[in-house]
Homo-oligomer: A and B are copies of this chain.
Amino acid sequence: MLGVCYYPEHWPESQWHIDAQNMRKLGISYVRIGEFAWSRLEARRGQFTFEWLDRAIDILHEAGLKVVLGTPTATPPKWLMDEHPDIAPYDADGNVRGFGSRRHYSFSSEIWWAESARIVEVIAKRYGTHPGIAGWQTDNEYGCHDTTVSWGPEDLKAFRRWLRMRYQTTDQLNEAWGSVFWSMEVNSFDEVELPTRTVTEPNPAQRLDFWRFSSDQVAAYDKMQVDIIRKHSPGRWITHNFMGFINDFDHFQVGDNLDLASWDSYPIGFVEKFPFTEDERNRWAETSHPDIAPFHHDLYRGVGRGRFWVMEQQPGPVNWAPWNPVPKPGMVRLWTWEALAHGAEVVSYFRWRQAPFAQEQMHAGLNLPGLDEWSVGGLEAHAVAGELAALGDLPESVQAPVALVYDYASYWATTIQPQGRDFRYEELAFRWYEAARRLGLDVDFVRPGADLSGYKLVLVPCLMQVNEAALAAFKNTDAVVLYGPRTGSRDEKFRIPENLPPGPLAPLTDTRQTQVASLRPRLGDSVSGSVSGRAIRWREYLETTATVIATFENGDPALTSQNDHHYLACWPDEALLSSTLAVLAEKAGLETLVLPEHIRIRRRGNLTFAFNYGAEDWTIPVSGEFVLGGQVLKPQQLAVWV
């Protein structure tokens, strides 16, 4: 089904009814509203003006649209910031990040929690049982604009409280952090500082704890909102709209609060944000890289425990990337179908009509700026609506054969301690995902410690800390497992394990790591054997008596195998990665189909979808009964068959 994001407060009231009718005409079922409207709901403390929102919701409801209501906490109004300046977040240099855009709050502010609870409760009470309200969105895009972590006095207070809970005594804290190194020991929790503005690098264990703390706060803050809404709005689901490529907090943990996950899909904008090569950025500038949206669909399906929406779908050019091209004709339709193929329940476009004012005036909508006239994106969305109606209900998504273990804490740990400037967790995970998808494989994202039963192939690009649950899951799986570099290289306290890396995985893999090299861009080491390619960026020195599948130039083991447990002792280049996954997929009994770089396929129930992100036709090498498209897949087109 399709949805749209709508801002009644941006348009004259006379327009609302027209908009509702046009939404229906286009094929919209859900409308998200309200998430930035605080200043219109409470222009001064306690002076509530809900009447306009009452009318807007009634109009939408009466038009047969279902409303998703957002809590307005991403935009605390100016009067509140002036009353309580300590709501504002701080950057790592200790400067206030002030009012004038959005997300100008720190999760550590106790006053902010009280104010958030207050406004959420008022709204949840007023609309919780309105028949037009289908569900709720908490806040908006946690973590966007680097707002997970804040570095102010309130944050320091909250961090000290969190540490006191975690460690009980400073002796335990000093021991955990190895504070004896460089005389960093503290005698009281009130002596702890934030790990910033030090002369040289701060303690990595302290940094990891500060990141854990910051992540915990997001989840707890979200839960506070969720609890209030549940109390006052029985029978409605609750979601949050996550962003793409944000790893500052553990999304699985926030997902635990929610009924379903949703995310904001800006496939073209993200081409600039992710560390692609310039060649890739040019190639995919007007279509997006074929794995960006799917990566997140699969991730958030995992975060939502099987249920997810796209809450904001890019409908044309946006305003916020370094360059903002017009998507190629057909891409808005393709992205919508790609989301549905990956199991999205609803794809909701951002936004109904382009605003002629303020920060996002260059962001396309389904209608031209200020007009009642469908944009190119609006026309494509309308086409999808027609196709969806013709197809009827889509089948359920089923468990994929491949699991990718995605771990936010490993992002934090490798960011804190890259050891080589280009060791980027998110890039490694993305490349592993891409390589699996290039083999035509469907992929589920799972968190460390999740039950792995039912999977044939488990990919662990990098899991720095293998805790007991994760270890148990690895021990218990029947799948072929591939562990990537740095897996098991730290314990909970950010220490090197006593038995050296991969620490707890030593028994499963029969390996021990004695040295590690990070490699400048031109350096590398060739790998040969049953798989081949090059180690780039990172190369480990292993001792093993396990089977050696491939070796480095000097004969050292590069890829080892003990039963179904494989360890890859480097950052693989594309050739090494794809040959490794091909060999392991075969070992796992998986059928693969090597796809061109611009083609991807994905199954949903009994349907198979194929998508063409490139400039050349692709003749589909399998036969099937086509329900959309046909055997020859044209650029920016899709095909669906049974």
Contact = CB atoms under 8 A, between A and B. Distances in A.
Interface in A29-43: 36-40, 43
Interface string A186-223: 11000101010111111111100000000000000000
Contacts of A500: 368-369, 371
A10 B180 contact: yes
Interface in A528-565: 539, 541
Interface string A139-169: 0000011010000000000000000000000
B375 A520 contact: no
Contacts of A482: none
A45 to B, nearest CB: 11
A361 interface: yes
B203 A316 contact: no
A271 to B, nearest CB: 9
A322 interface: yes
A324 B420 contact: yes
Given A177-B358, A185-B78, A359-B182, A323 B193 contact: no
A205 B358 contact: yes
A53 to B, nearest CB: 13
A145 B494 CA distance: 24
A315 B33 CA distance: 61
A390 interface: no
A469 interface: no
A325 B185 contact: no
A522 interface: yes
Contacts of A198: 97-101, 104
Nearest to A522: B282
A421 B281 CA distance: 15
In the complex, the count of this chain's copies comes to 3
A36 B325 contact: no
Interface residues of A, number: 108
Nearest to A175: B357
Contacts of A197: 95-98
A593 B130 CA distance: 75
A180 B9 contact: yes
Interface of A is mostly: loop
Contacts of A319: 419
A514 interface: yes
Nearest to A540: B326
B181 A356 contact: no
A97 B200 CA distance: 9
9 contacts: A40-B180, A99-B198, A101-B198, A103-B199, A182-B358, A325-B517, A362-B419, A368-B500, A370-B496
A44 interface: yes
A495 interface: yes
A80 B615 CA distance: 66
Interface stretch (A69-77, A301-309, A340-348): A69-77
A157 to B, nearest CB: 16
Contacts of A109: none
A517 B319 CA distance: 10
A168 B241 CA distance: 39
A481 interface: no
Interface string A43-83: 11000000000000000000000000000100111110010
Given A95-B93, A101-B199, A541-B326, A82 B191 contact: yes
A614 interface: no
B325 A519 contact: yes
A202 B101 contact: yes
A392 B147 CA distance: 64
Contact of A100 (B40, B193, B369, B421): B193
A412 to B, nearest CB: 16
A515 B380 CA distance: 15
Given A43-B187, A183-B36, A516-B362, A496 B369 contact: yes
Contact of A39 (B185, B515, B539): B185
